Amino acid sequence: MKKYLAPGLPAGIFAVGLILWGTGLLSRESALALAGRTLPILLFVLAMTVVTELADNAGLFNFLTSRLARWGTPRGPGPVSTGRIMILWLLVVALATLSTVFLSLDTTAVLVTPLVVQLARHARIPPLAFALTTAWLANTASMFLPVSNLTNLLAQHQLGTTPLGFFGLLWAPALVGVVVPLAFLALIFRKDLRGRYQPPPAHQVRDRALLWISAVTLALLLPALVTGIPVAIPASIAAAFLLLVFLIRRRSAVKWAMVPVQPLLLTLGLFLVVATLHDHGLGTALARVAGSGDSLPSLLQLATAGAVSANTINNLPAYLALETQADSPVRLAALLIGVNLGPLISPWASLATLLWHARLKSMGITISWSRFILAGLCLVVVLIPAAVLALWLSAGMPC
């Protein structure tokens, strides 16, 4: 992932964080509390990155994408069968959603984006519909489980709940986060999603043993991530196992480049900067913006503050800055709505969007940021209130 971030930016922010800590502007107590919360989460990010990179090297994601194209093509009586583009798009939706829910939004941005673009090109379909679907769902489908988004893992620690408890609190807005963007996408690309396509050639597997070992490892890992065991443990075990297998069968695939150095430095730096600001009164300054109480208007105010903050700076520091104002489970859920579903407007609102854009640029696809911003703004002004309303109704909160 590291080559998709602006050179020097993550290291610079991390250096600022270290200076704040070293000079005492970030208190020792706050630094220790921050380390206790975040180091296990960062270990999980590291382990999951290794797992997904090795699974991708084994050809697992290419294999799945090729299968999707063929599943969307019913066998006909003629020599060449074709499939409906709408069915293929729905299969892409399923892949992007499941990848985001179980493997995180950044995995979807980095690994799924080039696969679905390549799939569209092979099927001679304009790739923009599939590309934007991946970008939006990478953000908006990240509400279901703690592992879906780094902000969720931080919130789970704050809530002190299990993955099933997290799902029980957020299932309604999470569902809205998938359905509403799909309705917008179907409307925007209604012409491109009509017609039929011919499936691309079947994906050639280099090493079937590696492919199936990677598939089985992921199949065992995914349910382990929702058992309530600290997610860093099963992810680390899976990463260590796949590293051993690849060292035996394909040593050339094991590289230091797999380690997400720049994202980790950026995340650590943001953690340190925001923790320092909290030590110096950030929470008090944000109290008026975030509001208080669990009424529908109050929840909408907090979610809106999260969305605006995420698009102004980034969703991760936005969550950390506003977390102290989310003093109940339903308010924390409203904040997650803002910082998870809201980063669809500015290019820097989430790391996933930056990684997605870099992938498209490397494949020769140009994105009009003005249209991206306008489409995202139109979606967000509908999505955030709809998700907050779904949360309020599912939680049975007072007006």
**Does residue 14 fall inside a structural domain?**
no
Query: pLDDT for 137-196, tens place per residue?
Result: 999 999 999 999 999 999 998 898 999 999 999 999 999 999 999 999 999 999 888 888
Phi, psi for residue 141 in degrees, rounded to 5:
-90, 10
- Does 77 score more than 70 pLDDT? no
Give the contacts of 179 (CB within 8 A, at least 6 positions apart): none
Residue 1 confidence (pLDDT): 44
When pLDDT is averaged across residues 75-95 and rounded to a whole number, the result is: 74
Residue 72 confidence (pLDDT): 62
Percent with pLDDT over 70 in the chain = 93
- Least confident span in 241-255, 267-281, 335-349: 267-281
Query: pLDDT for 245-274, tens place per residue?
Result: 999 999 999 988 888 888 788 888 888 988
Residue 359 confidence (pLDDT): 80
When pLDDT is averaged across residues 288-299 and rounded to a whole number, the result is: 86
Residue 274 contacts residue 321 (beta carbons within 8 Å): yes
Pick from 382, 392, 390, 384: nearest CA to 330: 392
Q: Which of 31-40, 165-174, 228-237, 271-280 has the highest mean pLDDT?
A: 165-174
| CA pair distance 73, 196, nearest whole angstrom | 9
Label the pairing between strands 196-197 and 83-84: antiparallel
Phi, psi for residue 84 in degrees, rounded to 5:
-80, 135
Query: pLDDT for 348-370, tens place per residue?
Result: 888 888 888 878 887 888 888 89
When pLDDT is averaged across residues 34-41 and rounded to a whole number, the result is: 87
Q: Which of 96-100, 116-120, 291-295 has the highest mean pLDDT?
A: 96-100
- What's the chain's average pLDDT? 87
Higher pLDDT, 314 or 136: 136
Domain assignment of residue 151, given as a range: 31-395
Residue 265 confidence (pLDDT): 86
**Does residue 18 fall inside a structural domain?**
no
Q: At what angle do helices 28-57 and 208-224 cross, to 10 degrees?
A: 140
Residue 62 contacts residue 215 (beta carbons within 8 Å): no
| CA pair distance 72, 90, nearest whole angstrom | 9
**Does residue 63 fall inside a structural domain?**
yes
How far does Cα 344 stand from its chain's mean position? 12
Helices (H), the chain: 9-22, 28-57, 60-71, 85-103, 105-107, 113-122, 128-140, 150-159, 163-188, 208-224, 232-249, 261-279, 282-290, 296-312, 315-322, 329-336, 351-362, 369-395
| CA pair distance 278, 326, nearest whole angstrom | 14
Domain count, the chain: 1
